[in-house]
Amino acid sequence: MSCSALARVIAGAPDAPTLVLLHGITGSAVSQADAISHWTGLGYRVVALDARGHGLSPRWDPGRLERAGEVLVEDALAAVEDLDTEARGRAALGLSPSGPPVLVGHSMGAATAMVAALRRPDLVAGLVLADPARFGTRSHDELLARGAARARALAAEVADPAAAVTRALTDPEVPRAEAVAGVWAAQRVDPGLLATGVVAPEVPWEEAMRALEVPTLLLTGDRPGAARVGPEGLALARVNPRVDTALVPGAAHDVRRSRPEGFYAAVDPWLDRVLG
């Protein structure tokens, strides 16, 4: 399996502890610029991926769209396999490898990371799951309706990109480094994926959380109507002793952007403990 077709941003030394960033629906690698800067500043190597149909990665074809959730996982695993191959190559040359990465995902990216780690725990040092999409909590019709709503929002942005940039630049919960990149990313989303309503692999969320075998940090917020996991979801996840949980007060669905100080206060010490 190869991930060579997927676009990515790579920053940091090749022998540094590695984080693989997986964005949510309508995001991209560059729309996480503030996070990339933060973690490379702490000495990590960051590999931020453009999911299929996002950013500069390939668009979706009809065959893959029929199994979109599974393809998202396959793409993520291919990226991790690329890193493993690279590490083995460095070791063969007598160079210091980085070791298995921690996957850091938000929403769609968090759900994808979770299932990828279930499939290949040997390739993953741990998971940071920021308010993951919870497959099985919405009906098929609800997912289609949400996909249609995203498509309408995208059409409005495409029709007036200047207004979209202005909104992003004046939004106090969008880092300035990510404002223009976020609008660009949203306009690059493949509408075929939006039409399916798919935002997660087809693996029930609670079942996956119980089965995880790698160290995991699950974060969510408590803003009414915004958080997907929320305090109730954190309680369900604690049945797995490998899962640490963090509630970031006031955070919305995008925990990092809406409450960055609380997000990093929870994530950074956990990363230091897992990756040393």
pLDDT tens-digit profile of 4-15?
A: 588 999 999 999
Q: Which domain holds residue 27?
A: 8-136+200-275
pLDDT per residue as tens, the chain (276 positions): 344 588 999 999 999 999 999 999 999 999 999 999 999 999 999 999 999 999 999 999 999 999 999 999 999 999 999 999 999 999 999 988 889 999 999 999 999 999 999 999 999 999 999 999 998 777 778 878 877 888 888 888 778 889 989 999 999 999 999 999 999 999 999 999 988 988 889 999 999 999 999 999 999 999 999 999 999 999 999 999 999 999 999 999 999 999 999 999 999 999 999 998
Query: How many structural domains is the chain composed of?
Result: 1
Distance CA 224, CA 248 (A): 13
- 174 within domain boundaries: no
Instruction: Quick: pLDDT tens for 192-221.
Output: 998 898 888 999 999 999 999 999 999 999
- 176 within domain boundaries: no
- 188 within domain boundaries: no
- 181 within domain boundaries: no
- 39 within domain boundaries: yes
CATH number of the domain that residue 109 is part of: 3.40.50.1820
